[in-house]
Structure 1
Amino acid sequence: MPAALPAGRCGAAHPDDPTPCGGPAAVTIADSHGAVVGGCEHHAARMLASLDGARVAPLPAGPAGAAVRVFTAADTLRPFCWIDGPLTLPSQLSRAENRDRDRR
């Protein structure tokens, strides 16, 4: 049986991420192994940025454009962005930061 979610948190919220949800569940995130979880746009973007090979899909009753907003936000977020510390390795940077480094 999965662990219960803290009150007011969506399924995409990482237990160590202290930020509140940014609204109701709007999308699903599927990892590279096929596990799927629903989440608010805020936590779904953070999850998508933190997982290699994950995909985002809109929920049928979710707001229009939610999956695109999550995908776009995840591109600029660093994996596990709530963790402080020196971030210099490619695996610690956002996809956008890695693209910018590759262009130099």
Structure 2
Amino acid sequence: MTSRCPSAHPDDPTPCVGAVAVTVLDAVGAGANGCEHHAARLLASLAGGRVYALPDAPAGAAIRVFTAAGTLRPFCWVDGPH
């Protein structure tokens, strides 16, 4: 089994896309680093979540994650297309 980034939900079957680039924080400040793909999926599944680019992230990574999360339903890997 290939390892995935910390923001990938165990039930989400999709692979990482790109390197770990951002941190997603929940409403109380707990967080996970992740690739843009899984970070967007995680952010879409949180109430009051925030995303921050890591120091070595590509320009615009946090904005891309935030924008992508806005197009996803929470837990989008459950009962639907992946």
- TM > 0.5: yes
Aligned to 1:80: 75
Question: Which of 40, 44, 48 in structure 1 is aligned with 2:39?
Answer: 44
Query: Quick one: higher RCO (CA 8 Å, sep 6+), 1 or 2?
Result: 2
Point out where structure 2 has 5 or more consecutive residues left out of the alignment. none
The TM-score normalised by the length of structure 1 is 0.74
The TM-score normalised by the length of structure 2 is 0.93
Point out where structure 1 has 5 or more consecutive residues left out of the alignment. 1-5, 86-104
Pairs aligned (count): 80
Higher alpha-carbon Rg: 1
Distance 2:8 2:29 in 1: 18
SS at 1:73 equivalent: helix
**Displacement over 2 Å in runs of 4+:** none
Aligned to 2:53: 58
* 1:12 and 2:4 matched: no
